[in-house]
Amino acid sequence: MHALFSRSAVVAALSLLLALSGCGDDTNPDAGSGAADAGGGSCPGAVVIGFFTDPDCTVPVGGPGGERSYDLTATCFSWEGSSAAGQNSATGFQCYRDRVCYAQHANSLSCDSPMATNKEARTGACVVDTEGAMTIYARLISGSESCPEAPDGFECPTGGAAAGTLACRTSP
């Protein structure tokens, strides 16, 4: 029985997919100093972010299991909230070893909300995710271990939609 595709054809196809998604792009001129050296620019498949009701990130939203796995390989990752959160989607992912930055589109499953909000989750800190009647906090639980180190002084974007211009990224 003959193989349908040669090993070199499969490797070439996978390399093309990674290049198109922005993953593994060590030549990205916007990557910032040291991003490619520190982590090689490889993208994880997913990261897990936990959501909490307290500023110490000890009480999960909705009880145990207040986490969501975000598919960083998707150009637009979407989900249905089980509470008042409703429909949401995210794009413009920027993954670093200690944080993930992205733009969240509320009330949209297709990343086309004109009111996208920049979000971030960090491994070593509990950060405000949503303020309102009840403040929700976020913490990056796992999945970013293979992402590069953030460049010195780097902060996730604030205000407006994230552009996804640094390190491991997907395009909106």
* Residue extents of the structural domains in the chain: 28-169
pTM: 0.69
pLDDT band per the 50, 70, 90 thresholds, residue 119: very high
| Contact yes or no for 171/30 (Cβ under 8 A) | no
pLDDT of residue 21: 34
pLDDT of residue 58: 95
pLDDT tens profile 60-116: 998 787 899 999 988 899 998 765 668 899 988 899 999 999 999 988 999 998 888
pLDDT band per the 50, 70, 90 thresholds, residue 159: low
Is the pLDDT at 127 greater than 50? The verdict is yes
pLDDT of residue 49: 96
| Contact yes or no for 73/81 (Cβ under 8 A) | no
Q: How many CA atoms lie within 13 A of 124 on its CB side?
A: 4
Which token pair is 38?
């520190």
Mean pLDDT of 124-135: 90
pLDDT of residue 45: 86
Which token pair is 63?
């009880």
Q: What is the DSSP letter of 65?
A: T
Burial class of 7 by CB neighbour count within 10 A (0 to 12, 13 to 18, 19+): exposed
Biggest CA pair distance of the chain = 64
**4 or 92, higher pLDDT:** 92
pLDDT tens profile 18-71: 322 333 333 232 333 222 333 334 567 899 999 999 999 999 998 787 899 999
Q: What are the residues facing 87 on neighbouring strands? A: 80
pLDDT of residue 163: 47
pLDDT of residue 26: 32
Mean pLDDT of 156-169: 53
